[in-house]
Amino acid sequence: MTTREDLAKWDAQDPLAPLRDLFDLPAGTIYLDGNSLGALPRATAARVQEVVTREWGAGLIGSWNSAGWIDLPHRVGDKIARLVGAGPGELVVADSTSVNVYKVLKAALAIAAADAPGRNVILSERTNFPTDLYVAQSVAREHGCELVLIEPDEDPADRLDDRVAVLMLTHVNYRTGRMWDMAGITAQAHERGIVTVWDLCHSAGAVPVDLTGAAADFAIGCGYKFLNGGPGSPAYVWVSPRHADRFAQPLSGWMGHAAPFAFTTDYEPAPGIARYVSGTPAVIGTAALECGVDTLLAAEPYGGMVALREKSLALTRLFADLVDERVSGFDIESPRDDEQRGSQVSLTRPEGAYAIVQALIARGVIGDFRAGQSGLPDILRFGVTPLYTRFVDVWDSVEHLRQVMESDEWRDERFSQRLAVT
């Protein structure tokens, strides 16, 4: 049996351990919700202050040139590209995940209409993150398409027929942490003439992603989870260079124009990924996002995403094993197979998921609750972030869970009072 002392040794020997110092983590808290909002990097506060006081306050409008604001979406985009197997100039920071889903779905339908005309199905999965489904419903309605949802236990390959124009999947599922085989599924889709859209919200910065190697078509993702960009951070969008110049996405704001400062009357899309920018870039938020992305790039001398992945799998494996050994009454919803598991462990129970999460939060162990979707059970989510999660944190979290259950503490009615945001 593993002991806490064993895990303290693991931490002491962990070559990634120094990376924890890149973060400002509150004392007395074990933060297992970096899959919902990444923790604050130590560099961010000073950098944001610099943007506000020096660049905006002193530099004023001139900082669009002198502080490089105009290039910021591309500069930070190039950094994110390194985390997801994309090339420089292929990925840009812009807008929110929801808005970017809209852009790439419209573009993917246009590419599909050109290359494999007459198809009218967008295929996705029922437990995809709701915003992806909501936007897909809207796009399907606008284009006279049908949104078809497979069940989470179905193999998408079985549904890739010649009615399907676009397959949109989230690489790592937000509920269970289950990870799709991006390269294999993309290849199967392409064999059938289907364009792929990958949502990387729970995978970029959490698992190695290789968009180029997978020959993917479109990808989007958010900045505030594993990229540590801060609350409501701008999102990003990637388009394969095969497709980038073939379609002008419809949110054709001036910053995606070939020459924004020519102030011409007619829209002319910029070449490449720049056309996926719409309005004026969110400078402060993008600067904060850069600090977050830098925390992941700081792992490059330590082995980068491969080393982070190895630690992440060890942490989640440990979490699941300790729950098995030490706590009863929970099912582990996340795949036990390393190949299929992202950077989280999700538990289910017939009752009490919400209250148990709240009782843990009261003890300083911060995971989160996600309401059951489509008849599936409520879940307790525990995300690990190998940049700052320690092995003893996993031990202590499971120990708190054990105590919360054994003491029936979670049945205290204050833990059942629903907050606005869960």
User: Alpha carbon 247 to chain centroid distance?
Assistant: 25
The phi and psi torsions of 31 (rounded to 5 degrees) equal -100, 105
Does 97 sit near a second copy (CB under 8 A)? yes
Does 76 sit near a second copy (CB under 8 A)? no
Size of the site for a second copy (CB under 8 A): 93
- Residues, the chain: 422
Does 389 sit near a second copy (CB under 8 A)? no
d(CA 393, CA 12): 13
Does 264 sit near a second copy (CB under 8 A)? yes
Does 211 sit near a second copy (CB under 8 A)? no
* CA angle (252 as vertex; 248, 258 as ends), nearest 5: 75
d(CA 67, CA 62): 8
Q: Which of 2, 120, 138, 212 binds a second copy (CB under 8 A)?
A: 138
Does 278 sit near a second copy (CB under 8 A)? yes
Q: Which of 9, 12, 18, 52 binds a second copy (CB under 8 A)?
A: 52
Min dist. Cβ of residue 151 to a second copy (A): 12
Place of tokens 């525990």: 382
Does 416 sit near a second copy (CB under 8 A)? no
Please say which residue, 60 or 306, places its beta carbon nearer to a second copy: 60
* Interacting span for a second copy (CB under 8 A) from 55-63, 180-188, 311-319, 344-352: 55-63
382, 36 contact by CB (below 8 A):
no
Site for a second copy in 347-366 (CB under 8 A): 361, 366
Q: What 3-state DSSP class applies to 115?
A: helix
Name, in order, each residue with C-beta under 8 angstroms of 178's C-beta and a sequence gap of 6 or more. Answer: 152, 172, 334, 335, 340, 341, 342
| Partners of 331 in beta bridges | 348
Element of type H or E holding 73:
helix 72-83
Question: Catalytic residue numbers?
Answer: 129, 199, 224-225, 381
Contact code string over 215-254 relative to a second copy, x by CB under 8 A: -------x-x-----xxxxxx------------x-xxxxx
Min dist. Cβ of residue 222 to a second copy (A): 7
Q: Which of 134, 151, 407, 411 binds a second copy (CB under 8 A)?
A: 134
